Amino acid sequence: MTTSFPPGFLWGSATAAAQIEGAAFEDGKEASVWDTFSRVPGAVLNGDTPDVAVDHYHRMPEDVALMKRLGLQSYRFSTSWARIRPGDRDVNPAGLDFYSRLVDELLEAGVLPWLTLYHWDLPQAVEDTGGWANRDTAYRFAEYAEIVHGALGDRVANWTTFNEPFCSSLLGYASGVHAPGRQEPAAAIAAVHHQHLGHGLAVQRLRELGAQHIGITLNLTNAIPKDAGDPVDLEAARRVDGLNNRIFLDPLLRGSYPDDIRTDLADLGLTFGDDALVRPGDLEIIAQPLDFLGVNHYHDDMVSGHPLEVPADPSLVPADPHAVAGGIRSVGSPFVGSEYVTFPLRGLPLTGMGWEVNPSGLTRLLVRLGEEYPALPPLYVTENGAAYDDEVAADGAIHDELRTTYIVDHIQAVSDAIAAGADVRGYFVWSLLDNFEWGWGYGKRFGIVRVDYDTLERTPKDSALAYAAQIAAATDARAVDPASAAVLG
């Protein structure tokens, strides 16, 4: 098959502040919900915390140098609200200075900064006032966005408001898998709407301040009924598509919540009116024109309304994506009002997360978005990657063949989507570095660069070198010399 991309197609990698920075309580930073949640017994595997993570806060220049050596054209990073405005009080100059230095370092290296304002690390002080279940948090988010733009807007052109609101609303407030670990369905629906509102308010303010390239990133799936002839499976797929995809896409791109979702969630708080969750004027604020939509995609889902059958081979049972890694805390489903849905396996290969590998699903998703949403802006695949258990060879190399194949095959899937008419303009592999993987702590590695968690030494894996070669080939750039991607101490 032939892989081709349009002129100007952007190649990058992505990280998140809470997962890599460390320095959790240094230079004025105060606790985020993840600093607090990681200290709840059983919330995170092995009791791991993001206190040190991979120490990017202190090692940022060498990490940017590594990006340059690998030929990355763009770096998608997030700013920490808890570092920039600790406790959501006064602005912390040291926090803003870190991101200013990062942006300068990227520009000096010829790497385009791609900034995400919110990647799940709400200040704990804001959570203490109700968090995203509190409408006021949307307005506080817009204030935070203005602060960040005031410091970086002269050098940063690409602005993402939220990363994966599904996770920070439904996983955080309904299932309790993610911080803040609440299991309150009505609060989760309120969090969905208030994050939408915060997005719209921030976009309005950023536009007023002169920002030109603004979007949001959603994690989207294909919800495939196990039996397309079974009304129970069809209904389950509709519900998952609604709660994973359309409850986010429709308000943003159509200015409305889907009718079926309104019906499903009416008794769980999705109400409309002067004193209701969704107030007059909210949807107009939310549906601000977007310059791009970021799509995060790791796997798609077969869905059923029937209980799971036990697989004949126990090794095929995946890690439950809605269960806590530590196995101590009791958690629920993020699919509020549809908790009965199940996710049967299809016999496909599995990643280290127990997620099915199905590259054609990414093609299908990207094409579907353009077919179903006339107002769809250009797309960027802002996260795509895989966790596997890496082994360090005797010579110090990491021959991560499965991850390399996963990335190459998904890049082909993006090319196939473009050939089928999808307007995709960039691809960011997740993740640049091994990191604090939320509830899995340091037990799962997504990085194309290995981090030794004892020494914090960085070593590009074979997948990093393969990705560098892909970038060079796609852009007709000078081939990357593998020697230039040697181990960084």
Name the burial class of residue 463, with classes exposed (0-12), middle (13-18) and buried (19+) by CB atoms within 10 angstroms of its CB.
buried
Q: Which of 87-91, 294-298, 306-310, 370-374 is predicted with the least confidence, judged by mean pLDDT?
A: 306-310
Chain mean pLDDT for the chain: 93
What pLDDT, in 10s, does the model give residues 245-268? 999 999 999 999 999 999 999 999
* Residue with the larger pLDDT of the pair 322 and 252: 252
Q: How confident is the model at residue 3 (pLDDT cuts 50, 70, 90)?
A: confident
Q: Taking the CA of residue 180 as centre, how many other CA atoms within 13 Å lie in the half-sphere pointing to its CB?
A: 21
Q: How confident is the model at residue 487 (pLDDT cuts 50, 70, 90)?
A: very low
Polymer length in residues for the chain: 489
Task: Produce one character per residue of 366-392: b if its CB has 16 or more CB atoms within 10 Å, e if not.
Answer: bbebbeeeeebbebbbbbbbbbbebee
Q: How confident is the model at residue 308 (pLDDT cuts 50, 70, 90)?
A: very high
**Stretch 274-282: mean pLDDT:** 98
Q: What's residue 481's pLDDT?
A: 42
What pLDDT, in 10s, does the model give residues 389-402? 999 999 999 999 99
Q: What's residue 321's pLDDT?
A: 39
Q: What's residue 330's pLDDT?
A: 83
Cis ω for the linkage preceding 377 (within 30 of 0)? no
What residues act catalytically? 164, 383
Q: What's residue 310's pLDDT?
A: 63
Q: How confident is the model at residue 328 (pLDDT cuts 50, 70, 90)?
A: low
**Stretch 42-68: mean pLDDT:** 97
What pLDDT, in 10s, does the model give residues 456-485? 999 999 999 999 999 999 986 334 444 333
Q: What's residue 58's pLDDT?
A: 98
Orientation angle between helical segments 93-108 and 136-152, nearest 10 degrees: 50
pLDDT above 90: percentage of residues in the chain: 91
Q: What's residue 234's pLDDT?
A: 98
pLDDT of 198 over the 80 cut: yes
Q: How confident is the model at residue 317 (pLDDT cuts 50, 70, 90)?
A: very low
Please choose, from the candidates 475, 470, 410, 458, the residue with its C-alpha nearest in 3D space to the C-alpha of residue 64. 458
pLDDT of 324 over the 60 cut: no
Task: Produce one character per residue of 111-128: b if its CB has 16 or more CB atoms within 10 Å, e if not.
Answer: bbbbbbbbbbbbbbbbbe
pTM (2 d.p.): 0.94
**Stretch 75-92: mean pLDDT:** 97
What pLDDT, in 10s, does the model give residues 129-182? 999 999 999 999 999 999 999 999 999 999 999 999 999 999 999 999 999 999
Rounded CA separation 434/442 (Å) = 8
Q: What's residue 351's pLDDT?
A: 97
Q: What's residue 311's pLDDT?
A: 54
